[in-house]
Structure 1
Amino acid sequence: MVLLVFIGIITSLAMILVSTQADISWIKGRKIPRLEQMAFIGLIPITCGIIALMLAAKKNQIATLALLCLGSIGFTGALGAWNGSNLNEIKAPKMLSQFLPEDHLTQEIVIATHDWFQPSITFYCKRQINTLTSEEEVKQFLEQPIPAYVFMPEKKWDALKLNPSFKAKKIGQATDFYRNCNVVLLTNQY
């Protein structure tokens, strides 16, 4: 029961720390906006744990067990209702695909990645995604006469843009929580 209270406290604190409300260096940029709004979920196990302790002190085992079960179901249900769909809204592939032109499905365009890939980028772009393995391939890909788009880590872009012969325009950026890096979307459309 004390463990249940502890779980509630840890849950609430973790949600606040991982949200944008705290600037903690060991989180390493992996912040989830609006997560602090879900910190109240930690109150479910805290409340159930405290009440269960009081019921156990009165030797009411059935009520204690029932409360612990209901609290566990409520806590799990609340986390399930939140269900991570909120996380999909801030994942790099979805955010980056929104920087493509609205009519990209009806235009003749090509899309590629360089030194970065998440399988869901194919789903969100609804296009074949080419993989470019060298900076020279990226340069040639963006020199095509048709609109071309390349996803790559921002650090790669920072190095490439120093090359005067490399012509591209950055049109979007998002954080990849899995690789803990910023990813940019480049185009040959100025």
Structure 2
Amino acid sequence: MPRPRRVLVTDFLVDSQAVQLDQGVGPRVMRAMGSDAPEITPASQVQNAIAEALSDDIRKMGLPVERVAAGTPPGPSDLLVQGQIRKIDEGNRTRRLAIGFGAGRSSVEAEVQVYYDRGTAQPQLLQTYDANANSGRKPGMGIGVASAAGGGSLAPAALSGAMGAHAEKEGVAGEGQHLGNRIAYNLGQFFVQQDWIPAASAPSRSLR
């Protein structure tokens, strides 16, 4: 197939029923107090993280890329990457920080479809992927520190240092970014097979 004129990346669709909120002590208390309506929801965080990571990785491969709204029809010679987020689980941040090794881990799962518009009536489905990312099995920081962090009483500088040491960064937004990177890895292998990019331009590995 000819090299795509551009790659269109949509925000992946997500159903509210697919979202499992953080079950840690702090978040549950906040929700009980009526503080459960943040400006940016977990769903929108993950949608944005996936689209940004995917677009950035495709751009680094040397292909023109555009983020578009879901449902945007591709034009002739456009490649369209779309998907559905099947699961967003914030896990239990208190358990992640205190225990680690997979306890309370967060995770994101999605299905991905890749279409190519040949200028015919319907775009052609080229690839489908099942993708997932989770916070892994890193060690925790200990009960005392995690309890303070979960309750919001830990000094910001101390929390930042402790979280940096254990790679506890952005919750499900971070998992969305990792998932986007993994999708980009699979796309890169396909792009090389199609002679759209040289092998050296493809991401070297799918793991974080």
Both structures adopt the same fold (TM-score exceeding 0.5): no
Higher helix fraction (1 or 2): 1
* Higher gyration radius (CA): 1
Interval containing the TM-score (normalised by the shorter chain)? under 0.3
Please report the TM-score for the alignment, with normalisation by the length of structure 1: 0.27
Higher strand fraction (1 or 2): 2
Q: Which has the higher contact order (CA 8 A, sep 6+)?
A: 2
